[in-house]
Amino acid sequence: MADQKKGFYLNLRNRFKDWVKSRGGKENKWSDFLLFTPDLFHLLYKLSLDKEVPLKEKARLASAITYFILPLDLVPEALTGPAGYVDDIALAAFVLNAIMSTTKPEIIKKYWAGSGDILEVLKEILKVADEMIGNGIWKKLKSLKRHT
């Protein structure tokens, strides 16, 4: 079972790497951020299972995971392909940033499978989130998270 999970993660990561090399990926200004999609999903999942993460934060993590897997969201992947994950990664960064006040950074870093420092990655995503998905959509996403 662990191999299946690892296989899913690696397959997803490879799909994004291939997309970034494609014409559409090369033309997308958010490709570097979109490469973090599988890593952020993996991090959300792992943190949701960690015993040291408070229950309230697990509810936030679960809502972000659910948003990732919903077929229709604010920027649907079915219509836009991998570029449609911009809202998912912005929401993931927002949720992960929010849980840092109650969860030790070491726990978050422990599950980070991506490149670079996760805290810097989150900071960079949040810095460009408005531009990446549009201010109106970003406001809607942030208001959704305040209710969880």
pLDDT 10s digits, 83-131? 889 999 999 999 999 999 899 999 999 999 999 999 999 999 999 988 8
Q: Please, are residues 145 and 94 in contact by the beta-carbon 8 Å criterion?
A: yes
Q: What is the pTM of this model?
A: 0.85
Domain residue extents for the chain = 2-146
Q: List, in order, residues 6 or more apart from 72 with CB less than 8 Å away.
A: 78
Q: Please, are residues 42 and 113 in contact by the beta-carbon 8 Å criterion?
A: yes
pLDDT above 70 (res 142): no
pLDDT above 50 (res 1): no
User: How confident is the model over 4-14, as pLDDT tens digits?
Assistant: 556 778 888 88
CA dihedral sign, ordered 47, 95, 43, 45: positive
CA distances from 67 to 29, 71, 88 (A): 23, 9, 7
